[in-house]
Amino acid sequence: MVEEAKEKTSTESNTSSEEKKVAHPITQVQVTQQKPQVSAAVPPRAVVSPAPRPTPTVAAPATRPPPPQMVGRRNFVKALVTIAAVLSIVPFVPWGSFLSSSVGNAGSYKRQKVVIDAKSVYGAAAGQVVNVNDLNTFPPDSHWVITYPSSGDATLDAQNPDTFVKYELIRLPAGALGGDTKNASAFVAFSKVCVHLWCSPNYNPDPAHQQYECPCHGSIYEVPEGLAKYGPAAQQDAPTNAIPMLTLTADPNGDLNVEIPLWDVEHNGVLGYGRDYLSYRNYIKPAALGGS
């Protein structure tokens, strides 16, 4: 009995010891397995919110200037019209030089012989003093350009682009107009500046014309009076409907001369502006007849 009890006790003791031996490693394994879970556990990732986008700075709207006044607009339109008018005549009149034209040269106006500008297109008449008796060099129904006041050199005069000192010298057609007579009344000298928009007219000797014609807008002047009869110049009120003219006389030798002009509407007119058309009959032609 005692031995059985010892054996039993011993067996229990052994069993308990084995259980302890067995249980301990398991516990250690379990602990060992659990420790990494506790100590080596990966901490949860922190949620990183994206940085907020910078809000663009909106500048305060600039103060708008007040709307332009109607007066400014009207002035702008007027300026455009003026520029258009200037550009329409630039090919015909040297705009930059006209300011120093007739008014600036007023002190040089004097009685001078009529000399044709020295241009080859005028043939034998180029650079010559006009003589009313010479029907060969200066035949009826012919025309040339002269410069008044002259520089004294026909070649330099021909190179002068200033239309305000240029005149179309016309020997009138023969017959009723008297271009074949040998006196100053056989000639007229029209300004080369149209009274409409300052273009440069030319005499047309064709038998169907025989008139002074502006190529820009069709103004046509009668010869020899110089009164506009067609085109925009004819629609203008006097004195802007008649071309300015020079007063011509002939000396005893027959040389043609320009008399000192009286620049007003009652006599020779105003360059670019016009004259009273009756001045031809009342002043210019009588002077030509009296000087023959």
pLDDT (tens digit per residue) in 20-52: 444 444 344 344 444 444 445 555 565 555 556
Q: Which residues of 45-66 are buried (b: 16+ CB within 10 A; e: fewer)?
A: eeeeeeeeeeeeeeeeeeeeee
Predicted local confidence at residue 54, as pLDDT:
59
Predicted local confidence at residue 97, as pLDDT:
44
Predicted local confidence at residue 69, as pLDDT:
53
pLDDT (tens digit per residue) in 146-175: 999 999 999 999 999 999 999 999 999 999
Predicted local confidence at residue 96, as pLDDT:
42
Cα gap 50→260, rounded to integer Å: 97
Cα angle 132-135-141, degrees, rounded to a multiple of 5: 95
Mapping DSSP onto H, E and C, the string for 134-183 reads CCCCCCCCEEEEEECCCCCCHHHHHHCCCHHHEEEEEECCCHHHCCCCCC
Percent of the chain with pLDDT over 70: 63
Q: Quick check: 203 pLDDT over 80?
A: yes
State the average pLDDT for the chain: 79
> If you ran DSSP here, which 8-state letter would residue 232 be given?
G
Cα gap 269→48, rounded to integer Å: 96
For the chain, list the domains and their CATH numbers: 108-290 (2.102.10.10)
Q: Is 245 exposed, middle or buried (0-12, 13-18, 19+ CB in 10 A)?
A: buried
Residues with Cβ < 8 Å from 152, sequence gap 6 or more?
none
Q: What is the pTM of this model?
A: 0.66
